[in-house]
Chain A
Amino acid sequence: MAAPAGRDSEEEEALVSYGTALRPLIEGEHIKKPVPLQEQTVRDEKGRYKRFHGAFTGGFSAGYFNTVGSKEGWAPSTFLSSRQKRADKTAFGPEDFMDEEDLSEFGIAPKEITTTDDFASKTKDRIKEKARQIAGVAEPIPGASVLDDLIAPARITIGVELLRKMGWKEGQGVGPRVKRKPNKQQPDPTVKIYGCALPPGASGSEGEEDDYQPENVTFAPRDVMPVQLTLKENVHGLGYKGLDPTLALFGVSGEHINLLDDDFEKSNNLLGDVRNRKGRKLGISGQAFGVGALEDDDDDIYATEKLSKYDTVLKDEEPGDGLYGWTAPNQYKNKKRLEAEVKYIGKILDGFSLASKSAAPSKTYPPPDLPRGYRPVHYFRPVITASSENSPLLKALVESTGKLESDTAQQSRHTLNASQRRDLLGETALKGPAPSVLEYLSEKDRERIREAKQASEQQLKTKPLPQQSIHSRFQSACQESAHQKWQMALGEPLATAGSSDFKPFAKNPEKQKRYENYVESLKKGQKVDTLVSCLDPSMTEWEQGREQEEFFRAAMFYKSSNSTLSSRFTRAKYEDDTEKVEVPRDQENDIDDKESAVKMKMFGKLTRDKFEWHPEKLLCKRFNVPDPYSDSSIVGLPKVKRDKYSIFNFLTLPETATTTVTQTTNEKMQQTTNPNKPKKPSRWDVSDKEKKKKDSISEFISLARSKVDVQQQQEPATEKDKSRTNEALPNKVVNESVDQKEEEESRPSMDLFKAVFASSSDEKSSSSEEESDEEEHQTAAAGPASESTKCADPPDNSSAVQDHAVVTPEPDLPMPSALKEKLDEREFGPRLPPVFSSDTVQQHEPVQLTSFSEVNQKEKRKKNKEKHKTKREHKHKKEKKKKHKKHRHKGKHKNKKSEKNSSSDTAESSDSLSDAEMNVDLSPHELLRRLKDLPITKR
């Protein structure tokens, strides 16, 4: 299916292909085939083959390919024969030859901790035993299972052993011996028995046995049967037992045998309470059925139900009831225990003695006393809202309780604000700016406000009622309630609302004014009529009402936000350090000097800058290099803080090479005047006083040269470590500040520059003109990605500005914004160059490299030249062209059509790119046409 990899392009063109092609097969790769059935294997987690040894009949896999668990089988795992290194002896245990499965929980030799049989509880076995005994009784040959007991190895738990040593025997209960007959079931004398007496077989025999009882014989307590509490899973009534078919049908005949049997007693013991029904017919019996001909005893036909058969009293349950120790009430238990302590006559083990003191009874805690008025049922109080309808009710309520206010305050928990809740909880107020404006007022003012408030309140009180009612007729109900709401909700911090710094209606000054008035009057506690007077009289009543509501809401909002939010904030302690910015302390200095040095091929000191640079500690670690500045926390170049908007930040004019120039003249003088001065001044002196000066480059070079000489002569020894120029300069700043201005003025004119560099720079600018044009063009080709270039870093951008400022002291300084605009249009760095002509089907464009600083430089040169109008036009065209180029890039993949003539056109058109720039008179139309014919690359 895979398409042949090397297909000709023409062929491809002729075919129409749908969908995505399969990935071409790489040589040596073979297609995956499905695994055939016979090769599908099952492996365990170790990757070993697993075989199913009777997997469905419970078999297991043994070892490695049915061997011993290793590939080598029984062969020794290691054979080391060396004098130094002997194979260490390994003692193999059986585990070494076992599989992991064997050692797991259910294996042959589980490694997990489990209780051994010695300590395991016997309960399980007991049940089993019982079952076996029952089975033995029920078996045709009774007691056959006894053989099992004899044959089976005796395994006794520690507890049983101890008990045995203390005189306990199997089948007995644990505890002190009792005097009574253990199995006696004495009817309570207080309980009256109604109806017929028990059949003689049931109670009589026991009574007889009782008589034989000697006084001094004690009996072991009855064994306690574990009580199994079964869940009630059916819907029958309590205690209901349906007919058991086994008992009903087969039990009858069995009973007959058992009745005759001596073992019957024993079996009943085992079966527990079944004994109680001794003598009773098992099986289908009842009044309705009567007595069959086959049944020999018919004495209890009419006496099946007796009250004595039911438990009537809980308290007096006998110990022999099988429930001893389980459900007996406390009282009963305690009594028994005391008795037991006295009467204990078991055998005491060696080394043990009977405790004289009883173990401290476990402490019981009485339930808490209920409060006197406690009622276990909760009643909800009727909540009555203070509305007009239920005012009589409310009144009644108030009268009854006398404290409606507090009730409402408590009930309407959700209407409380944060500060009210805080007061209720007794918390202290948050420390923060005082929430009230009043706090800021002077004592006198506060006093005045208070007075005014009181006065208004009195006014309010004295106001005659009818007057109010008249007014209230016109006002909507909400207004009145609004006032109440105000009083209620605003409370103390009322004064803050409407203070001058919160202007919710700032857009509408009139409204704002009205709002302020409104709030003000509200604060004073004025009544509705005065409030209304604050509102715009020209408005309708409805509008007034709305506005009032609006004001109310605004004030509420302001109040809550003011008091609660403001307490969360605190004033800044320090002013934002906006004026300062971090700037690298050392900056690479002026390029122009270097450029000239490069031109002179004077590489070395002139072109080199040396900085202190702090690598990150981790980086040093990763490079296995000791940290050169182990005790500094600086990373990268050391930085200094400077004024943000200082021009010196952007002037990379520096303390180094330029100062070289200017200082060398002073230098000699200074060296004579103060020879004691340290050679290397502190860098920090310079930082805040950047000097801006410029000297003729020719002078610079000559001086630099002479300086090198001077240095070499004067300080051959001391200068060793500061071989770089920028460092070697002494006394940079000593009197720079003095003659800075002077030097500014003494800067040589532009003519001198031209005189010095006329030939070279002109040549370059003229030659680079086309070049830059071309390049510009090329860079523009990658236009769509121009957004990424917005990350142009400011220092660079500004360095361009600086270039202008320094080199050309002309009035028309290019604006940075204009520059930026320029920058935004380009993409910098590697990018696709124009298509080169070739016959090959694929044309690959090499990555191209440009820089924006370079472009800037060129731009700058251009600007120095006169700007012709034609040139501007030319630029327009270029811009247009850029756009077209974008299209070209987009349409690259589509326009296969034009590939036909591309072979002839490519050479021409690729040339035309540069031609277009050269030829200024090309009409846009023509350009467009050419662009259309541009070669199309395939990829």
Chain B
Amino acid sequence: MAFPEPKPEKPELPKKLVQNLECKQGAVRAVRFNVDGNYCLTCGSDKSLKLWNPHKGTVLKTYSGHGYEVLDAAGSFDNSQLCSCGADKTVILWDVATGQVVRKFRGHAGKVNCVQFNEEATVILSGSIDSTVRCWDCRSRRPDPIQVLDEAKDGVSSLRISDHEILTGSVDGRVRCYDLRAGELYSDYIGSPVTSVCFSKDGQCTLAASLDSTLRLLDKGSGELLGEYTGHQNQACKLDCCLNDQDTHVGSCSEDGRVCFWDLVEGSLALSLPVARGTVQSLSFHPAASCLLTATGGCIQLWREEAFALDDQVFG
């Protein structure tokens, strides 16, 4: 091949509503794709956690065991376990198949906002309103956390884990990145309470959404601002942000019922997707396809690109 490869075309953003599922579990606090994007989890305010096949629109399992509304959930890399956290101050490790509670981690002093597995699902990290992140060991039967990251001055709203880093967003307006390999903590001041953080796929950038209705893309290494995305509305609620599957766009929920996508490089608003009349509380982007899940009220919606045909239901 003598010719240089043509510049890859920008992927099409999900615009087409494919599914609208009524979850019947109160308000859906969060919706999360699993690791391969075939299934999703919805966290209900009626204390239940549901596992769906959003592409077929079927509910697969209901996990009940929380004492109060479920606020976040995540699936393990091998899809064998789930973890969820809720306003009952607990973090629960579930067995996917049986629906049984494997472990219940107690120790947070307040609502637990976010929860994540590490890469090998050996540790669960949970961030809470009590301004701590706690690292729970799934391997041993130890009831107390391995470590408590209490550097935050205010509630921890969001949490991400890469292979050796822990990224937390806190209401004290800082994004903290704990580098386990280097043994260092980088604390970037954003100013406004951070509602959601995420890594880019290449692991070089962090995206932080804050209550000043702005998304900021920061260089992970230096903390420099790479891009700023505005146009949505986020002033009061804990809304999610995301990057799409190929790191070309940046997306966020909005309190005015839209989901906005910006071009990552240019910073221009690429798509404003009207989802609902109320706030879009949560969203999750498919890890490999142009596919988006949004949660508003008691429903979740699945969005696909325009070219997507309904019979093309098979996913990798």
Given A588-B174, A847-B238, A849-B171: A604 in contact with B222 (beta carbons within 8 A): yes
B188 contacts partner chain A, Cβ-Cβ < 8 Å:
yes
Overall SS of chain B's interface? loop
Q: How far is the CB of B140 from chain A (nearest CB, A)?
A: 8
Which residue among B153, B164, B184, B235 has the maximum number of chain A CB atoms within 10 Å of its CB?
A: B153
CB contact list, A567-616 vs B, under 8 A? 584, 588, 591, 594-595, 597-599, 601, 603-605, 607-616
Give Cα A603 to B237, complex, Å: 24
Given A622-B139, A626-B181, A795-B153, does the pair A830, B147 have CB atoms closer than 8 Å? no
CA distance A854 to B238 in the complex (A): 15
Within 8 Å of chain B (Cβ to Cβ): is A619?
yes
Whether A830 contacts B174 by the Cβ 8 Å rule is no
Given A608-B222, A850-B193, does the pair A635, B147 have CB atoms closer than 8 Å? Answer: yes
CA distance in complex: A829, B128 (Å): 9
Interface residue? B146 (CB, 8 A): yes
Which residues on the B side are within 8 Å of A849 (C-beta)?
155, 157, 171, 193, 195, 211, 236-238
Q: Confirm or deny: B308 has a beta carbon within 8 angstroms of a beta carbon on chain A.
A: no
Cα–Cα distance between A939 and B195 once the two chains are bound (Å): 25
Q: Which of B114-170 contact A (CB under 8 A)?
A: 118-120, 122-123, 129-131, 135, 137, 139, 146-151, 153-155, 157, 163-164
Q: Which of B26, B122, B184 contacts A844 (CB 8 A)?
A: B26
Question: Taking the complex as formed, is B186 at the interface, i.e. its CB lies under 8 A from any CB of chain A?
Answer: yes
- Cβ–Cβ < 8 Å partners of A588 in chain B: 151, 153, 174, 187, 189
The minimal Cβ–Cβ distance linking A777 to chain B, given in whole angstroms, is 11
Q: How many Cβ-Cβ contacts under 8 Å join chain A to chain B?
A: 234
Q: Which residues of B contact A601 (CB under 8 A)?
A: 225, 228
Q: Which residues of B have CB within 8 Å of A836?
A: 277-279
In the complex with contacts A618-B137, A799-B153, A844-B28 CB distance below 8 A: yes
Q: Which of A618, A626, A788 is within 8 Å of B110, CB to CB?
A: A788
In contact, A611 and B236 (Cβ under 8 angstroms): no
* Per-residue contact bits, chain A 196-208, to B (CB 8 Å; 1 contact, 0 not): 0000000000000
CB distance from A5 to the nearest CB of B (A): 7
Residue among A595, A609, A848 making CB contact with B187, cutoff 8 Å: A609
Is there an interface contact between A610 and B191, defined as CB atoms closer than 8 Å? no
Q: Are B146 and A603 closer than 8 Å at their CB atoms? A: no
Are A829 and B237 in contact, with the CB atoms below 8 A?
no
Distance to closest chain B CB from A613 (angstroms): 4
The A-contacting residues of B in range 223-251, CB under 8 angstroms, are 223-225, 228, 235-239
> Residue B182 at the A interface, CB < 8 A?
yes
Q: Distance in Å from the Cβ of A844 to the closest Cβ of chain B?
A: 3
Whether the Cβ atoms of A939 and B184 lie closer than 8 Å is: no
Residues of A within 8 A of B59 (CB): 26
A636 at the interface (CB under 8 A from B): yes
- In the complex, residue of chain A having the shortest beta-carbon distance to the beta carbon of B276: A838
> Any chain B CB within 8 A of the CB of A796?
yes
Is the Cβ of B185 less than 8 Å from the Cβ of A613? yes
- Complex contact A615–B147 (CB within 8 A): yes
CA of A788 to CA of B108, assembled, Å: 11
B190 at the interface (CB under 8 A from A): yes
A628 interface contact, C-beta 8 A: yes
Give the residues from 648 to 679 in chain A that come closer than 8 angstroms, CB to CB, to chain B. Answer: none
Is B164 a contact partner of A723 (Cβ separation < 8 A)? no
Interface string of B196-236 (1 = CB under 8 A from A): 00000000000000010000101100111100100000011
Report the bound CA distance from A637 to B178 in whole Å. Answer: 11
Which residues of chain A have C-beta atoms less than 8 A from B238's C-beta? Answer: 830, 846-849
Please, what's the 1-or-0 string for A492-536, where 1 marks a CB less than 8 Å from any CB in chain B?
A: 000000000000000000000000000000000000000000000
Residues of A within 8 A of B (CB): 5, 26-28, 584, 588, 591, 594-595, 597-599, 601, 603-605, 607-616, 618-620, 622-626, 628-629, 635-637, 723, 771, 775, 778, 788-789, 791, 793, 795-796, 799, 828-830, 833, 836-838, 840, 842-854, 939
A-B contact pairs, 10 of them (CB 8 A): A598-B190, A607-B190, A607-B223, A623-B118, A623-B122, A625-B181, A828-B129, A849-B195, A851-B155, A853-B173
- 4 A-B pairs besides A636-B151, A637-B151 with CB distance below 8 A are A604-B222, A791-B130, A829-B111, A833-B237
**Shortest beta-carbon contacts, A-B, top 8:** A628-B183, A844-B27, A829-B129, A851-B171, A603-B225, A608-B223, A613-B185, A846-B279
